[in-house]
Amino acid sequence: MMRIGVTYDLRKDYIAMGYGEEETAEFDSEVTIDALCAALSSLGLTPVKIGNVKKLVAKLAKGERFDAVFNFCEGFRGNARESQVPALLDAYEIPYVFSDAVTLAISLDKGLCKRVVRDQGVPTVDFRIIERLADVKKVDLHFPLFLKPIQEGSGKGIGADSKVENARDLRRVAQALLTKFQQPVLVEEFLPGREFTVGIVGTGDDAQVLGVSEITRKENWIGDGYGYINKEYSDDKVEIVEADGENAAAAGEVALKAWRALRCRDGGRIDVRCDAAGKPHFIEVNPLAGMRPDYSDLCLIAARRGLSHAQLVGRIMASFFKRHPELKARQRVAA
């Protein structure tokens, strides 16, 4: 049987170490990991739970090897934290599911990411980077503006104050984010239109839009962005609905072009938001999208297409095996 390691960061492990709810928002639950392992088993693979990058290092140092790795590890420290596991696996010549170290590093840095997709002709709203408070004076964009940390996910750093209308508030919010997150701040011209998240499976020319969800606001929505509180406590704040055909097609076109420009692989999500005229713009990419059954956006999109969680994992693994036909052949023999 083909042994496939599963790398991940468990939220409860970091909570036990004293980290807070927001700090650990990107990490996974045992429910997610158990479901992933069950799906991999249903494909005739033998999943081996590894855990985070340090646990992977320990296993490799002891001589343990894997035929492949399902890399679901977000990392915790450093501005290339999502790239740590892929870089290590590259060094040991172990194939892995999802994007490589270069793509994950670029995708995590929202400024670099936007520069890449903009260079490839993907519409993305004008932006600046504030690396220190003095950079506020260099921001020459049109208000209102929207601010967020440059290297966070799960809506961290996005709240009621993220949209600013004047230079005074720009400085105040930038200072607060610089202090709290100890990283640069992305400043964008605010997009007032509808917001979508696009599920994608596949790699390169084979990549396809799986489906498109619209993020719609409920009565207790906070602020002007899909931030941490809105995501984490979503029941009375957010409703995720299937996008209508015309908007789904437009958002999907932008997302697929960005996916290919960033060389993302196998599966994930891209977030898109519209301007006042209804034109969709790239916001950011999640190449390691959440995969908790009946909860995560990618899983909900798959369910609307009639795919079970295991079938979604199967689509992702099909993309991986197409990149590694030698492993596909071995899987067939084992099955």
Residue 17: per-residue pLDDT? 87
Higher pLDDT, 249 or 76: 249
Poorest-pLDDT segment among 34-38, 194-198, 222-226, 321-325? 222-226
Q: Delimit the CATH 3.40.50.20 region(s) of the chain.
A: 2-98+325-334
Fold of the CATH domain 126-189: Dna Ligase; domain 1 (3.30.1490)
pLDDT digits (tens, 9 = 90+) for 137-167: 999 999 999 999 999 876 788 888 899 999 9
pLDDT digits (tens, 9 = 90+) for 89-110: 999 999 999 999 999 999 999 9
Task: Fill in the amino acid letter for 180.
Answer: K
Is pLDDT at 218 greater than 80 in this prediction?
no
Residue 155: per-residue pLDDT? 74
195-287 falls under which CATH superfamily?
ATP-grasp fold, B domain (3.30.470.20)
> What whole-number distance in Å separates Cα of residue 177 and Cα of residue 129?
12
The per-residue pLDDT of the chain, averaged, comes to 92
The distance from CA 120 to its chain's CA centroid, rounded to whole angstroms, is 20
Task: Name the strand (E) or helix (H) holding 232.
Answer: helix 228-232
Residue 335: per-residue pLDDT? 47
Q: Over range 185-194, report the average pLDDT.
A: 96
Residue 223: per-residue pLDDT? 61
Q: Delimit the CATH 3.30.470.20 region(s) of the chain.
A: 195-287
Is pLDDT at 84 greater than 50 in this prediction?
yes
Is pLDDT at 329 greater than 70 in this prediction?
no
Poorest-pLDDT segment among 6-20, 27-41, 165-179, 193-207? 6-20
Q: Is 326 exposed, middle or buried (0-12, 13-18, 19+ CB in 10 A)?
A: exposed
Assess contact for 40 and 331: CB atoms under 8 A: no
Per-residue confidence at 237, pLDDT binned at 50, 70, 90?
A: low
> What whole-number distance in Å separates Cα of residue 259 and Cα of residue 285?
8
> What whole-number distance in Å separates Cα of residue 265 and Cα of residue 78?
23
Domain 2-98+325-334 has CATH 3.40.50.300: no
* C-alpha distances in Å from residue 153, one per residue of 8, 124, 156, 185, 328: 16, 18, 6, 13, 33
Q: Over range 241-261, report the average pLDDT.
A: 96
